[in-house]
């Protein structure tokens, strides 16, 4: 018999976003999927075996845009007066310390594992080396950035010039890029807060090091108008002039795009992502058109401050928004089918992680980032279509197991890579001690 590290026996397998197979085994070794098929237990001797009866196995979800540094702001943003960035988020991030960031990252990692998010892209904050250490321990797959802004008037604790901003990301890259399951992206936190010098430096270094560059893009009209006033053109047009756009660029949000900007995004191979719950207060993206143009789209939570990190919630919200905004006016109730949204989360997320062709499917050669859903529950059984029920009815608490790169991070809801009890205790203690500051 052949040997493998892990064998999953007799499960339902979502091979890809629109392909489900029943009573199938899956063999994993060296962090990758060896093969899927019937009765592989006759072929492989496994170090560890998972009984798949009553479970649906699928690729791990990928959060294409989140904020580790805002994890402790959960519940403090909803219904707050605008502008929450300048009134709540920026002041909070400017008070981050290594200890506070460690707790942010531990709480975020724990939440993602429990809700089935195996991969993520962090949009950047401060003390990111501390966050990276936590994520390395957690076993999650992720891309991290420093928050890079050089505008005048920022709080003293986070004020920096373009060269210092670049230096911080360089240091993070040198220490953590390629370490465990982690990558480091260069970033432009917000174009209105970044000088042309900083844009130039970040883009140059991302190209030199063969990694991604990410930025918040076209999220609301005030941001767009600020760039128009400063540069005389819209945000994506400005980045095109600066020779920034390419297949290594990730434009978070990308909600309010002109036709010219859409063409630029398509022609340059730019990746995009939307964050449905957060975006609902700003604009509705032209996602059906972006997909028709072949533009990669991922889905993100925008961080725990915007309703938590559950992509199951984000998918449902996204379907509803797409239907009411794009579907109803055009008489098309299937403007954004469940399978399309699953593809966005899985394969669009893989593109955002710069892992096209190696994440987002359960196929031979793909990295073994896998989650399981307990389907043997009243709200999930019976069902006439498991893929649709997976989309419509599954919630974060239904995730039973998580495997990332072949390593089991959670088994039967027990997190193995982090101390859940301690993280929960420290999180509660933090909120109790800081209740008067919010």
Q: Starting at the earlier edge strand, list the strands of the sheet with 141-144.
A: 61-66, 117-122, 141-144, 182-184
- Split at pLDDT 50, 70, 90, the class of 436 is confident
CA angle 260, 262, 267 (to 5 degrees): 95
Q: What is the pLDDT of residue 322?
A: 98
The predicted model gives 362-366 an average pLDDT of 98
Q: pLDDT per residue over 99-114, tens digit each?
A: 999 999 999 999 999 9
According to the model, what pLDDT value does residue 361 have? 98
Residues 303 and 265 in one domain: yes
CA atoms within 13 A on the CB side of 252: 28
CATH code, domain carrying 278:
3.20.20.140
pLDDT of residue 343 exceeding 70: yes
Mean pLDDT of the chain: 97
Residue 239 in this model has a pLDDT that exceeds 80: yes
| Residue 112 and residue 247 in one domain | yes
The answer to whether position 123 is within a domain reads yes
Number of structural domains in the chain: 2
249 and 106 housed in the same domain: yes
Pairwise CA distance, residues 109 & 123, whole Å: 15
Query: Which CATH number belongs to the domain containing residue 390 in this structure?
Result: 2.30.40.10
Residues 392 and 312 in one domain: no
In the structure, what pLDDT confidence band is assigned to residue 80 with cuts at 50, 70 and 90? confident
Per-residue confidence at 194, pLDDT binned at 50, 70, 90?
very high
269 vs 295: CA distance, rounded Å: 7
Q: How close are the terminal C-alpha atoms of the chain, in Å?
A: 61
Are 122 and 262 contained in the same domain? yes
Over residues 316-335, the pLDDT tens digits come to 999 999 999 999 999 999 99
Of 274, 239, 303, give the one whose Cα is nearest residue 85. 303
Residues 280, 388, single domain; the answer is no
The token duo for 199 is 């844009």
3-state secondary structure the chain: CEEEEEEEEEEEEEEECCEEEEEEEEEEECCEEEEEECCHHHCEEEEEEEECCCEEEEECEEEEEECHHHHHHCCCCCCCCCCHHHHHHHHHHCCCCHHHHHHHHHHHHHHHHHHCEEEEEECCECCHHHHHHHHHHHCCEEEECECCCCCCCCCCCCCCCHHHHHHHHHHHHHHHCCCCCEEECEEEEEHHHCCHHHHHHHHHHHHHHCCCEEEEECCCHHHHHHHHHHHCCCHHHHHHHCCCCCCCEEEEECCCCCHHHHHHHHHHCCEEEECHHHHCCCCCCCHHHHHHCCCCEEECCCCHHHCCCCHHHHHHHHHHHHHHHHHHHHCCCCCCCHHHHHHHHHHHHHHHCCCCCCCCCCCCCCECCEEEEECCCCCCCCCCCHHHHHHHHCCHHHEEEEEECCEEEEECCEECCCCHHHHHHHHHHHHHHCHHHC
Considering the domain architecture, whether residues 189 and 48 belong to the same structural domain is answered as: no
- Name the band, by pLDDT with cuts 50, 70 and 90, for residue 438: low
If you search the block for the tokens 């990758």, which residue do you land on? 32
Residue 301 within any structural domain of the chain: yes
**Residue 436 domain-assigned (yes or no):** no
Residue 50: predicted pLDDT: 97
230 in a domain, yes or no?
A: yes
Q: Residue 115's pLDDT band (boundaries 50, 70, 90)?
A: very high
Q: Considering the domain boundaries, does residue 425 fall inside one?
A: no
Compute the distance between CA of residue 32 and CA of residue 49 in angstroms, rounded to an integer: 15
| C-alpha to C-alpha distance for 386 and 373, rounded to whole angstroms | 11
For residue 122, what pLDDT is reported? 98
Q: What does the pLDDT look like over 292-307, one tens digit per residue?
A: 999 999 999 999 999 9
Q: Is the pLDDT of residue 435 over 80?
A: no
Q: Rounded CA gap, 220 and 228, in Å?
A: 13
Same domain as 367, residue 343:
no
pLDDT in tens, 370-423: 999 999 999 999 999 999 999 999 999 999 999 999 999 999 999 999 999 999
Q: Is residue 310 part of a domain?
A: yes
CA 297 to chain centre: 12
Q: For 158-176, how does the pLDDT look when each residue is reduced to its tens digit (9 = 90+)?
A: 999 999 999 999 999 999 9
Q: Does 385 lie in the same domain as 368?
A: yes
Per DSSP, what are the bridge partners of residue 315?
Answer: none
As a whole number, mean pLDDT of residues 133-138 equals 98
For 258-273, the pLDDT digits (tens) are 999 999 999 999 999 9
Q: CA 190, 168, 156, 121 torsion: positive or negative?
A: positive
- The reply to whether 208 and 282 lie within a common domain is yes
Name the phi and psi angles at 196, rounded to 5: -60, -30
For residue 47, the enclosing domain spans 1-57+362-418
Does the residue 240 lie in any domain?
Answer: yes
Q: What is the pLDDT of residue 345?
A: 98
The answer on 215 and 117 residing in a single domain is yes
> Is residue 297 assigned to a domain?
yes
Q: Which two tokens stand for residue 39?
A: 């009765």
Q: Residue 76 above 80 pLDDT?
A: yes
Claim to verify: residue 49 and residue 79 sit in the same structural domain: no
Residue 177's pLDDT band (boundaries 50, 70, 90)? very high
pLDDT over 70 for what percent of the chain? 100
Residue 258: Cβ within 10 Å count = 14
Question: Where is the domain boundary, 325, 351, 377?
Answer: 351
């Amino acid at each position: 018999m052949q040997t493998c590290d892990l064998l999953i026996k007799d499960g339902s397998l979502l091979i890809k976003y629109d392909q489900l197979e029943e009573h199938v085994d899956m063999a994993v070794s060296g962090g990758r999927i060896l093969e899927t098929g019937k009765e592989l237990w006759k072929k492989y001797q496994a170090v560890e075996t998972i009984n798949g009866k009553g479970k649906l196995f699928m690729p791990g979800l990928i959060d294409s845009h989140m904020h580790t540094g805002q994890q402790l702001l959960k519940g403090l943003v909803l219904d707050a007066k605008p502008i929450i960035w300048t009134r709540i988020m920026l002041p909070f991030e400017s008070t981050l310390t290594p200890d506070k960031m460690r707790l942010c990252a531990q709480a975020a990692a724990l939440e993602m594992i429990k809700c089935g998010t195996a991969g993520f892209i962090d949009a950047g904050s401060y003390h990111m080396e501390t966050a990276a250490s936590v994520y390395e321990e957690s076993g999650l797959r992720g891309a991290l950035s420093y928050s890079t802004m050089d505008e005048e008037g920022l709080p003293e604790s986070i004020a920096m010039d373009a060269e210092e901003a670049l230096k911080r990301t360089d240091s993070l890259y040198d220490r953590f890029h390629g370490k465990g399951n982690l990558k480091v992206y260069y970033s432009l936190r917000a174009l209105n807060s970044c000088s042309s010098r900083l844009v130039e430096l970040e883009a140059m270094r991302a190209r030199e090091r063969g990694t991604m560059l990410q930025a918040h893009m076209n999220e609301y009209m005030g941001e767009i108008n600020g760039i128009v006033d400063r540069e005389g053109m819209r945000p994506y047009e400005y980045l095109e002039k600066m020779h920034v756009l390419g297949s290594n660029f990730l434009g978070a949000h990308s909600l309010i795009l002109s036709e010219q900007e859409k063409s630029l995004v398509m022609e340059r191979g730019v990746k995009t992502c939307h964050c449905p719950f957060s975006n609902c207060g700003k604009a509705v993206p032209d996602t059906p058109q972006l997909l028709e143009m072949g533009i990669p789209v991922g889905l993100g939570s925008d961080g725990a401050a915007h309703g938590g990190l559950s992509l199951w919630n984000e998918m449902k919200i996204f379907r509803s928004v797409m239907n009411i905004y794009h579907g109803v006016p055009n008489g098309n109730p299937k403007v954004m089918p469940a399978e399309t949204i699953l593809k966005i989360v899985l394969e669009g997320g893989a593109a955002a992680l710069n892992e096209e062709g190696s994440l987002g499917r359960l196929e031979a050669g793909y990295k073994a980032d896998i989650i399981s859903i307990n389907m043997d529950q009243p709200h999930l059984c019976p069902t006439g279509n498991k893929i649709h029920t997976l989309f419509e009815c599954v919630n974060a608490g239904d995730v039973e197991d998580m495997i990332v790169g072949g390593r089991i991070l959670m088994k039967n809801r027990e997190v193995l890579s982090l101390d859940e009890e301690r993280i929960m205790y420290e999180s509660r203690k933090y909120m109790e001690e800081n209740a008067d500051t919010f």
